[in-house]
Chain A
Amino acid sequence: MDFFDHLLMALKIGIEPANLLWCFTGVLIGTLVGVLPGLGPVATISLLLPITYKLTPVQSIIMLAGIYYGAQYGGSTTSILLNIPGEASSMITCLDGHQMAKKGRAGPALGIAAIGSFIGGTFGILMMTFLAPPMAAMALKFGPPENASLMVLGLTLITYLSSGSMVKSFMMAALGLLVGSIGTDLITGSMRFTLGLPGLAEGVSIVPVVMGLFGISEIMLNLEESCRKREFFKTSVKTLLPNKQEFKDSAGPIARGSVVGFFLGILPGGGALLSSLVSYAMERRLSKQPETFGTGSIAGVAGPETANNAAAQGSYIPLMTLGIPCNVVMAVLMGAFLIHGVIPGPLLLETHPDLFWGVVGSMYIGNGMLLLFNLPLIGVWVSLLRVPYVLLFPLISMLCLIGSYSIENSILDVYIMILFGILGYLMKKFNYPPAPLVLALILGPMLEKNLGQSLMMSNKNLLIFVESPISATLLSVTVLLLISPLILKRFKQKRPGLLVQGDLDL
């Protein structure tokens, strides 16, 4: 059966020594980044992009991918021990995880978080092994009109699922489209909005934008307040395994979290944060003892932690099979593919099957490594947190500066990063979500290219977008999404309550 062939191939490539090494490096850095608040997988992957020039494409993607799902493991550590989420997606783990720690059950909380993460992650990869080939086959039948409609739907979804006001999210998406149009137009070759700067001829690079919006702005926000020392929770983390009852109570949440997390992860705009929130809400609703949620219920830790890992794994699928990034991390990872001259998308499976299956195989192995190594190393992670922020932020700033410079040895890129840092800071203060801007920046040029090609194919006839059944379906769903808030006003009121202001997948 195809599934098992692919599985074997994936594992065979995954256990090659060089790939193993970089997988380990990636998940280790990922865990570290997940543990440290203030530094996230987005900024880290951007920072490490230049390093991967010297590696093969397989090794690069393996390492960078490992950072993302590794961070989902690390984030729960600080949530449970310190009530501070290392990652936005671990925010909900603070609720019950920290309460468990206060009751002396920090070990089992950490243990079930790791186990749930492993199961969720592995489920996600299995689904990927299963779904990727048929999805890629289907996507090969997509022409420019279908691709354009898919991107419009994707962009709409991302904006729809963003936290905060939908109008503001769409404003940021529009701004992203505008920034994306800076540079050389792909169809006519004319230069747009480059202000005479040769450095802008290729457009605004995503790495400085992301490092500014998420890295520099975060530092600026933290600098507003004096850098207080973090309060430390002295906990003896001796027993890491939950007891039998806790295992029993976690089984359902883990199972449900895997499925929910995976499907929310595939959705553009979905992702780890949303899935952890949905899982928590779902478990509380299904629980026989809902009043225990918030006081240290293990279901409140098991479900969300499983869901965020399943979502993280799921979110690789649209990028690698359709060529469409569905969240900011994937947008940056796309940059990594392009640096190596590999175009992610339906052709990836055909032209670079070793790359695709190698990455998949490394994910299985990486998840296993994380399960084994995370728990014993908890003491190390915790001691790292003792480094005061006032010493950390200059180092993070330095890395951001080097990172944006080294993409193209361009000083202009560093200025762009600073500019977007200021913009990101203002956006946070004025309550505008940054994710739609980043996704629109990446998807905009792609969308424009497909739009242009479609109109050339149809001789300027706009009907081409509804003539194809696939395209028509995608556009109908988009329209439904856009008018749904007007119809479901009550749903819109609940939405801000569910989603917290903050960035997905940072």
Chain B
Amino acid sequence: MKLRLALILATAALLAGCSDTGGGTGSATPTGADSAGATPASGKITVFAAASLTDAFQQLGDQFEAAHPGAKVEFNFAASSALREQIIGGAPADVFASANESNMTQVVDAGLATGPAPFVTNVLQIAVPPDNPGQVAGLSDFAKPDLLIGLCAEEVPCGEFGRESLAKAGVTPSIDTNEPDVRSLITKVENGDLDAGIVYHTDVLAASDAVKGIDIPDDQNVVATYPIAALSGSGQADLASQFVEYVRSPDGQQVLESFGFRPA
């Protein structure tokens, strides 16, 4: 009963309560040598990554493990804002990859990460059902009250960027729902329950035939920059920074571009 609320309350209490349990779950194997890149590091790292990175990072993780025998990469994918709360609350994370800069900044300001670096960008696209029942052609259609229009809630990055884009286009949207994350927004578009929503280009690619993407012109679009950083509390600092380097390497960038991300 009231499970969801209880969960939220419990999470809030948990986040508030255990702020000093930092450090990784990974076995703190001391790596003997100092030269980071060349050492065959072993051990396990946990990467907290924005939900939109799910498919790309899973492939990156497999490739990284193949290139670093003995290394194990685990992922926790969620909305960047939720990950930020977990990290500040003391969750055992080694790397944080955020879908926007403000969540990363808050983690840096809390003294939990240094030197975040942008590693990819993502642009917005309009998602409509494959048969486009609302005959949506561009952002101006978002003002039509007879269409069913969804955005991400303004509390999460895709909602913030979507509103920025509409403001650039000078459109006041007639919103029917503010979805808590981009996944639930695109699912409602896929089902035909909404006529249009603003999502990331990569989400439209990942949904393949289930939704149709309509480009937003560059002058109305918003470029989301994703920063990544190894976390200071990591018990696997070497391996964590090697993973960050791998993501930013040509190999890593190639994987990310194959999922629709653009170079930072």
Decide whether A and B are members of one complex. Answer: no
Binding site for B on A (CB under 8 A): none
B residues at A contact (CB < 8 Å):
none
